[in-house]
Amino acid sequence: MKTVPTPKTSPYLQLLNWIFRPLEYMEANFQRCGDLFLARWGMLEWILVSHPDALKTILTQDSGDVVSAPGEVSAILKPLLGDNSVILQSGDKHRQRRKLIMPPFHGERLKVYADLIQNITRSLMGEMRDGQTFQARDLTQKLAMRVILQAVFGLHEGDRYRRLETLLAERLDMLSSPIASTLIFFPALQRNYGAWSPGAKIAQQSQEIDSLLYAEIKARRASLDPTRKDILSLLLLAKDDAGNGLTDEELRDELMTLLVAGHETTATALAWSLYWTHHHPQIKEKVRQEIEADGAIDNAIALTKLPYLEAVCNETLRIYPVAMLTFGRMIHQPITLLDYTLDEPGRLLVGCIYLLHRREDLYPQPQEFRPERFLERQYSAYEFMPFGGGARRCIGYALAMYELKIALGTLLTHYDLEMASDRPVRPERRGLTLGMKGGVEMVFKGKRSVPTPAMV
C-alpha cells in the first residue's frame, strides 16, 4: 500500500509558508509529491488533493458513511461568522439549513437582482470624474458591498445602511493582508487584551455591527412584507419541514456568512476580470462586440447568457481562484484515492482548487489567460470548481456569477477605463482567500458612446 507523500519541512514552517507564500507552497509540494500530499500546519494535518478523479470520489461520498463534511473543521471562522453559520453545521442540521436558505439564490428568483446589480454598477461609475485614477479593488469592493446590503440585507438608504457599509468594509479589511491573516490562523490573537490589541478593535466593531443587524432584523419581523424580494425578507419567511423559522441569532450569523462569502469572492474576482480584460485589450474588445451584437447593452438578464463573457468570467475564476481550497472532509471508513488507500478514521481531506485549476492535463499552458478554453470543451464539476463542490458547494454561487457577468459586462460596454501601469499584478493572500497584491490602478476615461439595440 502506497504511503501519501509528506513534505519534509517542519509543521510550523509549513504553516508560515501557507500563510505568507500559499501559491509557492502548493506548487512546490505538487512538484515534489504529486496529486496528494500530507500538509502539516502546526497542530493541523490535511491531505491536499488536486486530481479530479480523487476529488470526484471524495465529493460524491461526502454526505455518507465513508466521508463526511463536518462543520467543526472550519472552527477558525467562528469568531467572524458566529456559532450558527451554515458553514459550521454538520450532518442533518447542515442539510436542513442549506435546504432552508438555498431557494432565494437560485432559479427565477435570481432575476429580480439583475437590474439591481446593473443599477448599482452605473451609480458607482456616476460618482467618477474623467481622468480620475482609482484602485479597481476599491471600486469592486464598494460594488459588492452595495449588492450585499441591497439584495441580501434589503437596505437601500439611511443611517443604518451607511454605517453598516463602513463597518462591514472595515471588519473585512482587518484580515486583508498576509500579516493580518495570522489573526485567523491564530485565534488567540483575536482576544481583547486591552485597547492596544487588535482584539479590542474587533470586539468594538463586532458589537456595533451586531447592534445594527439585530435592530434591522427586529424591525423587519415587526412588519413582515411578503412582497419584498431581498434575501433577508425571504429568510424571515422561510420555514423548515417542522414549521420552524430561523432565530434572530441564526439570521445574524447567516447574514455574516453571506457577507463574507459573497463580498470577498465577488469583489476580488471582478477586480481580476478588469485587470485581465484591460491587460489583454483584444479580450475586452471581443466582449464588447459580443454584447453589442446580441443587443444586450442595456439588458442585464441578457448579459448573463452570453458565452464569451461567461468564458472570461470562468477563466478569471480559474487562473487565480479566490477560494484556494475546498472545505475539509473527514474519513470514517477506508477510501481509495488513485493508488492510495486511506484507512485512518478522522484523517482530514481537502481539495486544492488552485492546483486543480493549474493542471497541464486539463488546462494546457495554465499560466496563460485564455477564455477560449471554456468554449472549446466542457469541464466537469470535478475539473473546474471555483465555488467548491459536493455538500459544501457555495450556496450563493449562482448569484455570484450573475453579479460578475452583469457588472463586468456593464463596465466594459458603458465606460472607458485604462490601466495606469503596464506592471503585472501579482496574487497575494487576503484573509482566507486569494486576492491581489496592491490592487489594480486604473484611470477612468469617461462614458462610452454605445450603439442602441436598434442601431446594431
b (16+ CB within 10 A) / e for 118-128? bebbeebbeeb
Those residues with Cβ within 8 angstroms of residue 59's Cβ, 6 or more apart along the chain or in another chain: 326, 329, 351, 381, 382, 389, 390, 391
Count CB neighbours of 426 within 10 A.
10
Q: Is 11-447 CATH 2.20.25.240? A: no
pLDDT digits (tens, 9 = 90+) for 146-193: 999 899 888 888 888 888 888 888 877 766 666 666 666 666 666 666
pLDDT digits (tens, 9 = 90+) for 259-317: 888 888 899 999 999 999 999 999 999 999 999 999 888 899 999 999 999 999 999 99
Count CB neighbours of 296 within 10 A.
21
Longest dimension (CA), the chain: 67
Count CB neighbours of 9 within 10 A.
16
Whole-model pTM? Answer: 0.92
Q: Rounded distance, CA 319 to CA 312, Å?
A: 11
Return the top range by mean pLDDT from 18-22, 97-101, 259-263, 312-316.
312-316
3-state SS, residue 200:
helix
* DSSP code of residue 434: E
pLDDT digits (tens, 9 = 90+) for 322-344: 999 999 999 999 999 998 999 89
Q: Are strands 133-135 and 67-68 parallel, antiparallel or unpaired?
A: unpaired
Q: Rounded distance, CA 193 to CA 128, Å?
A: 42
